[in-house]
Amino acid sequence: METVIARTQSEIDTNEAVREAANALQSGDVVALPTETVYGLAADALNPAAVEKIFEAKERPHFDPLIVHVHHKDAVRDVAEIPEEVKKTVTQLIETFWPGPLTLVLPRKPMIPDLVTAGLSTVAVRQCDHPVFHRIIRNFNGPIAAPSANLFGQMSPTSAQAVMDQLDGRIPLIVDGGACSRGLESTIIKVEPGEKKPLITVLRPGPITEIDLKKFGKVVFADRNEAVEDSNPEAPGMLENHYAPGKDLRLLSDPADFIPEDGKRYALLSYRGQPKDGFLDLHEWDHVSILSPGSGRVAEAGTRFFHVLREIDGMNEIDEIISEPMPDRGVGKAILDKLRKAQVKT
Ligand code: AMP
Ligand code: MG
């Protein structure tokens, strides 16, 4: 199969790309689409044969459920139930963060195929904030299933070229909507009634942070080990060996933990490139990439994270990637989560 990239630089190109993508979805095909988080591999969420093509193209195991995208806020009720006891909070969250990188896990409507939810009684829903995606889903006029457009276990793509590098020959169409502004997958939460306040459990950390969420309830992070329930995890993004580059990667918390091996060529993934953080002058690095040069901003680091990691991964002159620790706050939590899962298991 030939994989075509549809550009969206001009209005004419965009109209054509939107039409082609919506047609592909209508005829039960998959198509890679830009979102503000990472590129998604989209199919008609109500067509199991189309959804199956997502699993095939990604080589994704069927126990890993997909996120369903809706074309407007009210359409959440087409795919999910909003339980009465959390209705106020869920409605506030949707009003505040949609369209945007917040995915809500809610009881599913029966019309959602089992394949989408991996047989779970819940469905993960969000409304994406990307102008091209928005036009395509409006045109298609129905829910779209779209997990990240990468091969299972590998790094999420934040550009059309990154999708091409992984899925060339496996899918017919990639819509190029530019680099993703957030660069990290959506925050996934579930909401339950709590003692004093509603309980918001973060199943996957992402661009919407604890600070953003805590106005709406008590925020807790799902215990990684608890969530990794063999073949039916609550948030399978939490499986080990996810988001992994081809090269070995090690996340170090202390510079003293770095013991270079003879002849091995190392790249440093640095947060802000400051010598005082203890890593920059630690070694004669064969390459240094800085996520947010200077003062260091976690949101900027998040946006650039997969792009930079992919760049280093493509360097023949590098054997191993050493990552500095990232701040354990805000978007930094999502970056740390990816780095922990990407690193070599010892
Ligand atoms: P991806 O977009 O590739 O990161 O995949 C979507 C992710 O959404 C899955 O890996 C799960 O972590 C999460 N997800 C989807 N549906 C559910 C659900 N019903 N309950 C919990 N997490 C879900
Ligand atoms: Mg993914």
pLDDT of residue 227: 43
Q: How far is the CA of 38 from the centre of ligand 2 (A)?
A: 9
Q: Mean pLDDT across the stretch 76-80?
A: 98
Task: Report the CATH fold assignment for 4-76+106-175.
Answer: DHBP synthase (3.90.870)
The whole-number average pLDDT for the span 181-186 is 98
Mean pLDDT, residues 93-110? 98
Query: What mean pLDDT is predicted for residues 247-257?
Result: 96
pLDDT for 234 beyond 60: no
Whole-number pLDDT of residue 229: 40
Return the amino acid letter for 80. Answer: A
Cα 20 to Cα 14, 27, 64, 164: the distances in Å are 10, 11, 28, 18
pLDDT over 70 at 225, yes or no: no
For the segment 51-63, the average pLDDT, to the nearest whole number, is 97
Per the CB < 8 A criterion, the answer to whether 207 and 182 are in contact is yes
- Range 213-248 burial, b when 16+ CB lie within 10 A, else e: beebbebeebeeeebeeeeebbbbbbbeebbbbebe
Whether residue 245 has a cis bond before it, omega within 30° of 0: no
Over residues 220-247, the mean pLDDT reads 64
Ligand 1 mean position to 180 CA, how many Å?
Answer: 19
Q: Residue 213 pLDDT > 90, yes or no?
A: yes
Q: Is the CB of 157 under 6 A from ligand 1?
A: no
Tell the residue nearest (CA) to atom 1 of ligand 1.
Answer: 147
Indicate whether 230 pLDDT > 50: no
Residue ranges per structural domain of the chain: 4-76+106-175, 248-342
| Sign of the CA dihedral with 167 first, then 171, 173, and 175 last | negative
From the CA of 325, how far away is ligand 2's center (Å)? 22
CB-ligand 1 contact for 116 (6 Å cutoff): no
Cα distance between residue 317 and residue 314, in whole Å:
9
pLDDT band with cut points at 50, 70 and 90 for residue 239: low
pLDDT in tens, 109-154: 999 999 999 999 999 999 999 999 999 999 999 999 999 999 999 9
Domain 248-342 -> CATH class? alpha beta
The overall average pLDDT reported for the chain is 94
Provide the percentage of residues in the chain whose pLDDT is more than 90: 92
Q: 120: exposed, middle or buried (C-beta count within 10 Å: 0-12, 13-18, 19+)?
A: middle
Alpha-carbon span 247 to 312, nearest angstrom: 9
Ligand 1 pocket check for 203: Cβ under 6 Å:
yes
Give the number of the ligand closest to the Cα of residue 117: 1
Residues recorded for the chain: 346
Mutating to test ligand 1, I would choose from 35, 105, 115, 163 the residue with most ligand atoms within 8 A of its C-beta, which is: 105
Kindly state the average pLDDT of the residues 279-301.
Answer: 96
**Is residue 65 lining ligand 1, measured as CB closer than 6 Å?**
yes
The pLDDT value given to residue 242: 79
- Using pLDDT thresholds of 50, 70 and 90, give the confidence band for residue 67: very high
Q: What is the pLDDT of residue 346?
A: 61
Confidence check: pLDDT of 276 > 90: yes
> What pLDDT was estimated at residue 323?
98
CA of 105 to the centre of ligand 1 (A): 9
**Which pLDDT band, with edges at 50, 70 and 90, does 240 fall under?**
low
Contact assessment for residue 199 and residue 58, using Cβ atoms and an 8 Å cutoff = no
Dihedral of alpha carbons 272, 273, 279, 283, sign: positive
How many other CB atoms are found less than 10 A from the CB of residue 146?
26
In this model, does residue 232 exceed pLDDT 50?
Answer: no
Cβ of 148 less than 6 Å from ligand 1: yes
What's the pLDDT score for residue 231?
44
118 or 230: which leads in pLDDT: 118
pLDDT at residue 295, rounded to an integer: 87
Look at ligand 1, atom 12, and give the residue with the nearest C-alpha: 235
Q: Do domains 4-76+106-175 and 248-342 have the same CATH topology?
A: no
